[in-house]
Amino acid sequence: MAVVEHNILGDHRGKLVAIESAVDVPFEIKRVFYIYGTEPGIPRGQHSHFKTKQYLIAVNGSCKVTLDNGSKKETFFLNSPNIALFQDAMIWGEMHDFSKDCVLLVLASDHYKESDYIRNYEDFLLEVNK
């Protein structure tokens, strides 16, 4: 669990944030998705991955992300397109409190595999406490 601040580049024409796979992001990016148009009060995520690592960026608007390693929970506020949150494998994650205009970009270290997901919190706790 780490917050990373990326440099903002650009000039009078506008701003730019460059993020490179395996350079700025601590893994090779194999999947990209984004969450938007969320309903008020409805959280997203609420799962962990056995192997997949994620890098989360609120490219527009804001949201909170609560990460849980089985013994400690920490909530992060993402509200800038140059701030990223690294979520390692075997960390329970929940995204919540989305602003209406939030677009949450997620860079993932692996392709989608349902078998990589732990969707039940009790099962997650059993896995991390093995």
Q: Which CATH number fits the domain that encloses residue 32?
A: 2.60.120.10
Q: Where are the alpha helices (DSSP H) in 1-130?
A: 121-128
Residue 1 has a pLDDT of 62
47 is catalytic: yes
Asked, for residue 68, whether it belongs to a domain, the answer is: yes
pLDDT at 21: 94
Give the residue numbers spanning the domain of 41.
Answer: 2-8+20-128
Once rounded to an integer, what is the mean pLDDT over residues 93-103?
98
Residues 91-113 have a mean pLDDT of 98
Instruction: Please give the model's pTM, rounded to 2 decimal places.
Output: 0.93
pLDDT at 2: 83
- Per-residue pLDDT reduced to its tens digit, 32-61: 999 999 998 999 999 999 999 999 999 999
Q: Which of 6, 12, 47, 111 is catalytic?
A: 47
**Domain total of the chain:** 1
Is residue 78 a contact partner of residue 58, using CB atoms and an 8 Å limit? yes
Q: Label residue 101 exposed, middle or buried (CB < 10 Å: 0-12, 13-18, 19+).
A: exposed
Cα(112)–Cα(85) distance, rounded to whole angstroms? 20
Q: Which two tokens stand for residue 41?
A: 């009060």
| pLDDT tens-digit readout, 53-94 | 999 999 999 999 999 999 999 999 999 999 999 999 999 999
Whole-angstrom Cα distance, residue 31 to residue 129? 29
